């Protein structure tokens, strides 16, 4: 429990990282294996310089004599944006005098290539572009900042190294591959975890048909205690590929298990062998995916993924998350029930699932069901009320808005996600009234 990889502040060889390129322009999950590379623009850089650096470090692509490489940026303290003076003369500027033609910039592409050959850094090129722009001075400071950022992205791309935690993983998928996670937005996922009271030492039952994001999120909260049981109702286990992106220690991986609904039913055991077969199949699938969640989809990123996907031999010793739950565990769950339930199964009938799973929960256990459509949840809520098996029922939908906060220019962002999904939550009650003892 103590040596959770997740708590490490430094990256290590073989760890999974989230690379934020140019301030969110592109997000790439990568594994820091010795051969791992990342393609930025037209340049292919080894990820080796990142190994051993603190999470939160910034890198810049530089041209060395052996080709482009990632160089650590030493940040300066304080001051970006603008000083007081600028703000005041800001009001006086507007864009009436700006003419958009291609003559504003006197540096040519050839000039820039030549500078590059001479080893001029990207940042210096950006400064040169600004110095040679006839319109820069006339721009408002806001536009100046925008111009600088645009040039910086092109000539001096930055790579920020982040720890992959559930929020950034979920956000990255939501932005680029929403379908793989059933369009589950991170704030909805956060609500699921709260509503299902995911806490240390709890045994959480999940039906996760959203790539493993829910399973991973629960495991992150359990921190190597309790269990998250990823249940499949049919014979085929659900994919948990996303779990690989988290830097889970062996202690946490051990707490992620699979189980088939049949195994929990009285007198049933024996689908084990079959599940084991399924296991090896899904492992192959993982190989393709591992390290390869390049979120900005363009050809260059896909290239990077394939290279990083080569598995580092040292990680092979790691315990695999999602082993089949032992007979002993299943026996315990039969006797004691699960402490809560989360369902995120876009393709299954919600009410049927609940009928099958509720008997496996402890009384007073909270549950939370995610769905993209309202109707199945409304019907399920209605049925739960009618059968009097749960109370505190509520359907809720989060609404999330981000703000731009700048001096005299604060307002909600122009773009927002309009929908993060619906959640039905409630608490199971003790139905056997004879059970008074």
Partner 1 sequence: MIPADPSGRLSLLRRIQEGDLVIVYERHDHMKAVKVINGSVLQNRFGVFKHSDWIGKKFGSKVFSHKKGFVYLLAPTPELWTLVLSHRTQILYIADISFLVMYLEIVPGCVVLESGTGSGSLTTSLARAVAPMGHVHTFDFHEQRAASAREDFEKTGVNKLVTVGVRDIQGEGFPDELIGQADAVFLDLPQPWLAIPSAGKMLKADGILCSFSPCIEQVQRSCETLELKFTDIRTFEILLRTYEIKEVRAEVGEGDDGFSLRSPPRKKRQHSTEKGSAVEASGATTVMAKPCSETRGHTGYLTFARLKCL
* Near partner 1 in 56-115, by CB under 8 A: 56-58, 74-75, 77-81
Q: How many C-beta atoms lie closer than 10 Å to residue 129's C-beta?
A: 22
CA dihedral 201, 420, 377, 203 (to 10 degrees): -10
Min CB(29)–partner 1 separation in Å: 16
In this chain, which of 339, 343, 358, 369 binds partner 1, going by CB under 8 A?
A: 339
Based on the shown chain and the rule CB under 8 A, indicate whether residue 429 belongs to the binding site for partner 1: yes
Alpha-helical segments (H) within 67-108: 84-90
In this chain, which of 44, 71, 396, 417 binds partner 1, going by CB under 8 A?
A: 396
Q: What is the largest CA-CA distance in the chain?
A: 89
CB of 298 closer than 8 Å to CB of 256: no
Give the x/- contact pattern for partner 1 in 220-259, rule: CB under 8 A: xxxxxxx---------------------------------
In this chain, which stretch among 119-127, 255-263, 309-317, 362-370 interacts with partner 1, using CB under 8 A? Answer: 362-370
Min CB(388)–partner 1 separation in Å: 8
Q: Which residue has the tokens 């029930």?
A: 337
Contacts of residue 86, Cβ cutoff 8 Å, sequence gap at least 6: 141
In this chain, which of 366, 367, 369, 370 binds partner 1, going by CB under 8 A?
A: 366
Cα–Cα–Cα angle for 336, 342, 345, nearest 5°? 130
In this chain, which of 410, 414, 415, 434 binds partner 1, going by CB under 8 A?
A: 410
Shorter beta-carbon distance to partner 1: residue 35 or 87? 87
Based on the shown chain and the rule CB under 8 A, indicate whether residue 400 belongs to the binding site for partner 1: yes
Based on the shown chain and the rule CB under 8 A, indicate whether residue 352 belongs to the binding site for partner 1: no
Shorter beta-carbon distance to partner 1: residue 103 or 408? 408
> Sign of dihedral through CA atoms 23, 28, 34, 39?
negative
Q: How far is CA 302 from the centre of its chain?
A: 18
Based on the shown chain and the rule CB under 8 A, indicate whether residue 340 belongs to the binding site for partner 1: yes
Based on the shown chain and the rule CB under 8 A, indicate whether residue 363 belongs to the binding site for partner 1: yes
Based on the shown chain and the rule CB under 8 A, indicate whether residue 282 belongs to the binding site for partner 1: no
Nearest Cα residue to 304 out of 15, 22, 35: 35
Min CB(224)–partner 1 separation in Å: 7
Which residues in 171-200 contact partner 1 (CB under 8 A)?
A: 186-187, 189-191, 193-195, 197, 199-200
In this chain, which stretch among 41-49, 120-128, 321-329, 402-410 interacts with partner 1, using CB under 8 A? Answer: 402-410
CA pair distance 103, 105, nearest whole angstrom? 5
In this chain, which stretch among 95-103, 127-135, 164-172, 295-303 interacts with partner 1, using CB under 8 A? Answer: 164-172
Query: Which residue spans within 32-156 are E strands per DSSP?
Result: 37-40, 43-46, 58-64, 67-73
Q: Which residue has the tokens 């003419």?
A: 99
Min CB(256)–partner 1 separation in Å: 15
Contacts of residue 294, Cβ cutoff 8 Å, sequence gap at least 6: 26, 28, 29, 301, 302, 304, 305
Based on the shown chain and the rule CB under 8 A, indicate whether residue 208 belongs to the binding site for partner 1: no
């Amino acid at each position: 429990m103590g040596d959770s990889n997740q708590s490490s502040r430094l990256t290590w060889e073989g760890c999974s990282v989230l690379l934020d390129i140019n301030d969110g322009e592109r997000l790439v999950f990568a594994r820091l294996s010795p051969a791992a590379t990342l393609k930025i623009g037209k340049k292919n850089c080894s990820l080796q310089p990142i190994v051993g650096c603190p999470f939160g470090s910034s890198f810049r692509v530089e041209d060395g004599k052996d080709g482009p490489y990632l160089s650590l940026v030493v940040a300066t303290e304080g001051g970006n944006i603008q000083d007081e003076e600028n703000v005041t003369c800001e009001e006086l500027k507007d864009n009436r005098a700006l003419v958009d033609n291609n003559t504003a910039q006197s540096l040519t592409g050839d000039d820039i290539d030549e500078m590059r050959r001479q080893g001029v850094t990207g940042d210096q090129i950006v400064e040169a572009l600004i110095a040679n722009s006839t319109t820069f001075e006339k721009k408002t400071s806001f536009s100046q900042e925008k111009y600088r950022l645009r040039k910086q992205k092109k000539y001096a791309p930055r790579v920020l190294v982040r720890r992959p935690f559930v929020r950034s993983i979920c956000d990255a998928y939501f932005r680029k591959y929403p379908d793989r996670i059933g369009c589950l937005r991170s704030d909805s996922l956060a609500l699921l975890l709260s509503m299902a009271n995911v806490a240390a030492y709890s045994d959480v039952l999940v039906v996760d048909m959203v790539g493993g994001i829910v399973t991973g999120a629960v495991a992150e909260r359990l921190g190597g205690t309790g269990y998250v049981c990823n249940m499949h109702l049919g014979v085929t286990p659900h994919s948990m590929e996303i779990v690989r992106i988290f830097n889970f220690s062996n202690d946490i991986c051990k707490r992620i298990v699979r189980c088939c609904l049949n195994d929990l039913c009285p007198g049933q055991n024996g689908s084990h062998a079959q599940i084991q077969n399924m296991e090896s199949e899904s492992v192959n699938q993982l190989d393709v995916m591992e390290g390869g969640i390049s979120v900005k989809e363009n050809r260059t990123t896909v290239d990077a993924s394939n290279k990083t996907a080569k598995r580092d031999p040292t990680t092979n010793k790691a315990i695999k998350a999602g082993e089949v739950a032992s007979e002993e565990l299943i026996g315990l769950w039969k006797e004691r029930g699960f402490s809560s339930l989360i369902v995120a199964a876009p393709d299954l009938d919600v009410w049927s699932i609940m009928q099958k799973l509720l008997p496996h929960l402890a009384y007073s256990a909270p549950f939370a069901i995610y769905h993209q459509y309202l109707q199945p949840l409304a019907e399920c809520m209605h049925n739960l009320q009618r059968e009097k098996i749960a109370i505190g029922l509520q359907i809720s939908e989060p609404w999330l808005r981000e703000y731009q906060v700048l001096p005299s220019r604060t307002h909600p962002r122009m773009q927002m996600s309009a929908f993060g999904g619906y959640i039905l939550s409630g608490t199971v009650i003790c139905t056997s009234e004879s059970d008074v003892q």
